[in-house]
Each structure stands twice: as C-alpha cells, then as structure tokens.
Amino acid sequence: MKKFTIVVLLSLLAFAPSLWAVSNPDFVPFVETEQGLISILSHTYQNGVSALDPGTDFDFRNQGGQEILFPFARYTVGATIAQNHRVWFTYQPLDIVTNVEFRGAVEVGEASFADGEAVELRYSFPFYRVSYTYDLLNNRDNAILGVGVVLQIRNASIVFKSIDNTTVNSDLYISQNVGLVPALAIYSQYRFPFGLVLTADIAGTYASSELFNGADFEFEGSILDASLRMGYELPNGLELFGNLRFFGGTAKGTSQYPTDSWAESEYKYTKNNIASLTASVGATWYR
C-alpha cells in the first residue's frame, strides 16, 4: 500500500506540469494531496444466512481493535472549466489491519471463531470517485456554491483470519465486492482578499432501490462524506490547508449476486455500518 501511495503521488506531480502548461484561462487544473489520521467512531458488521439468522453483530471498534488512530490519505486531480464547471477525480485508500484475541465466540459467514482465539482482522475499503459541480453563484464576490453529482466505485474486502497456532483448524472468512454508487454533491468556497480560504463539501446518498444503491436488486445503502477546510493562499498557485472530515456509510440487505467466486461469502445477508472522523493537512497546486 505504501508503494502504491507513493506511485500515485508521483504520478500526480508528474502530471501537474502538463496541466500548468495549458494557457486557456477558462481551464484551470489543480492537483491536491492531504495526509493525516482517521478515527473510527463506530463500526459494526454482520454476515449470515438471512435477517433471521444474521450471525454475530461484530463491533470492529470495541471488539476488533479499531479504537486507535490510523493513517489517512487522499489524492485529487481536477479542473475548473469556464469558471462555473468543476470536475475532479479522487482516490482515497483505506486499509485497516488489527490483531485481537476474541473474548467470546464469533460467527461471521461460514466461519466460527472460539473464545480466546487470536485473529487478524482486515477492513479494506478504498474508493475511486469522479465528481462534478456547477457554480450557481458564477464565482461572484470570491464565493462558490456548486451543486452536482458523484459516481463512486466501492472496492470492499473484509477478512477475519485465525492466527492462533493452538486451534485445530485455521478459520478464515473473506467477503469482497466491487460496485458503482451514484450520489449528490455540494461544493462551497469563499476566498478572503488577504489569502484565507474557507471550503466545505458534501457528497452523500441514501437508497434502497436497485440501480441507485450500486446493485441490480433491492439493498439498503448510504454514504456521507462531509468536510470543513481552512486554507491559506501562497505565491505560485500554492494553497496549504487543514481539514476535518466525517466519512460514513451503511449497507443492509440480502445479496442476490452469484457466489461463484471463492473469495466471497456464501451467506447472503450483510449489515455493515461505519462512521469515522479524519483530521489532515494538505496542499493544492493550481495552474
């Protein structure tokens, strides 16, 4: 993951000069990176036969070791076009691995873990997102109020793996999937004459009907990604900022996807609720 993160950052920086070379004032590209810490506020997960037999309602924070802080990163490249149109691509890695000794029996999917068993837990949920907003204020008085849409690719992988050499069988649970999730977006910003920049953005959706939930069957799901940012403009198109962000999502229902993949749970019912808070610092380069 570290190597991939470095490659992404270097690629963005390498791409930046070609963007800056564009002389059209109606096309203003930018590249952005932020680094910080993420705190999991709450996170529960179930996978079972059905809603009547859902398995253990496992608490990743209080039972799975997610109560500590973890590294956070986010990378963005985009452009403002003809002043009012803002388009950008965001990549946010998220791969949390913890080791715990269970203090009670846990049943998740087809796997059963005993009281006292040592287990490695992995929750990987990186996302790739394309966003578009249209400025309703036409950048009037240094203010922006953009509304638009988001298309996000979810790329989830959840693993419970026994690392207890004293157990007779090495228990293992894996569930992973990829899907498209559309959402609504709001982007707002105000630039003060002395260089201070205040920014707020929200991307979110709630749906229980097919298509809008990223599946082709009924499945309840939601995402909310909201941030407040304070930055300061420096010479040569550079802006430094600090950012607070809430990121969360829910999923609940019975999957109708086929289980041909060996790396997917055979049990159809899933509930996955997560809420997190991030604090980060970063930089934006404008042409």
pLDDT over threshold 80, residue 209: no
* Domains of the chain, start order: 2-286 (2.40.128)
pLDDT bucket at 146, cuts 50 / 70 / 90: very high
Contact 180, 152 (CB under 8 A): yes
Q: Which of 220, 218, 210 is nearest to 249 (CA)?
A: 220
Task: Give mean pLDDT, residues 259-286.
Answer: 89
Tell me the C-alpha distance between 78 and 87, whole Å.
Answer: 6
pLDDT tens digits for 56-75?
999 999 999 999 999 999 99
What pLDDT is stored for residue 215 in this prediction? 56
Task: Give mean pLDDT, residues 194-204.
Answer: 97
Q: Is the dihedral of CA 100, 102, 103, 106 positive or negative?
A: positive
Question: What does the mean pLDDT of the chain come to?
Answer: 87
What whole-number percentage of the chain has pLDDT above 90? Answer: 67
What pLDDT is stored for residue 161 in this prediction? 93
